[in-house]
Structure 1
């Protein structure tokens, strides 16, 4: 018999216990990121930087896995959003870009402690609109975990 909506949405005790064990450090006064951004992107290392292309390395931590031990789809979406936008920021003080559209193809799963290679590439610019491609790949097998296309927009700078 299928679960009712109420049963499906109930939080299991093991999930509740998992959340209560999280240690959340107090935010630094100068931090401009939210808790969730720092929670999701902590531990990502820069490997290669070229204008318009950046490569990162990441080992899947327990905090970003679902109850089956796979990298959570929400964590993948946050990585596509935050790491994808990083290809646009080369100098402090540049105007902020906002996400307009994001689509992600989930092609495989990554397990706890898998080493991932994350590449982000600027694929096009049309005025203040920019398109980015982000690929998460298992470093040891070469298997693509997810591919995200991310569009961002920034207001044009004033000509005054």
Structure 2
């Protein structure tokens, strides 16, 4: 148990870095939240069709692991966010992720330009299925592919 506690202890340097973060109160629909600013900043929407969204993303240092690769958590976040965008409808409640399955095929380094494509696979009642593919724009190499199912409550037709 002591070894686990030691592993979880925060060093003085790590503590100072975190204490310098400025986290301002979030004003919904007016500002980006800390989360949105940290994880989604820099994503550009290139194309939107009825059941397809294509975005570009340059890998920033803040989303990389110790080896300089785009982190697996950052990839999962992109699958979650960009997968939900393809079924988003203004004025309807937020979509909720039900399941995600991600295949990590290759790596992306800082400043690699990625293309992120989200496509609607289908719908059954209130459950939607999407697929999100991350590719290196320069090489065409697939970085990851994620399947994402979401629940979305639709407005009543009555």
Q: TM-score range by the shorter chain?
A: 0.7 to 0.9
**Consecutive unaligned residues in structure 1, runs of 5 or more:** none
Separation in structure 2 between the aligned mates of residue 140 and residue 14 of structure 1, nearest angstrom: 37
Q: Which stretch has the larger CA shift, 112-121 or 17-26?
A: 17-26
CA RMSD of aligned residues (A): 2.4
Distance 1:14 1:120, change over 3 A: farther
Show structure 2 runs of 5+ residues with no match.
Answer: none
Report whether the alignment pairs 1:133 with 2:131: yes
Which whole-Å CA distance do the structure 1 matches of 2:141 and 2:26 have between them? 36
Which residue of 2 is the match for residue 124 of structure 1?
A: 122
| In structure 2, distance between residues paired with 1:99 and 1:128 | 12
Match of 1:99 among 94, 97, 109: 97
**What is the number of equivalent residue pairs in this alignment?**
156
For the structure 1 residues 126 and 73, does the alpha-carbon distance in structure 2 shift closer, same or farther, using more than 3 Å as the test? same
The 1:97/1:30 distance shift into structure 2, 3 A limit, reads closer
In the TM superposition, what are the counterparts of 1:48-87 in structure 2 within 5 Å? 48-87=47-86
1:37, 1:78 within 8 Å by CA — same for their partners in 2?
A: no
Contact 1:60 1:116 in 2 (8 A): yes
The 5 A counterparts of 1:20-31 are 22=21, 24=23, 27-28=26-27, 30-31=29-30
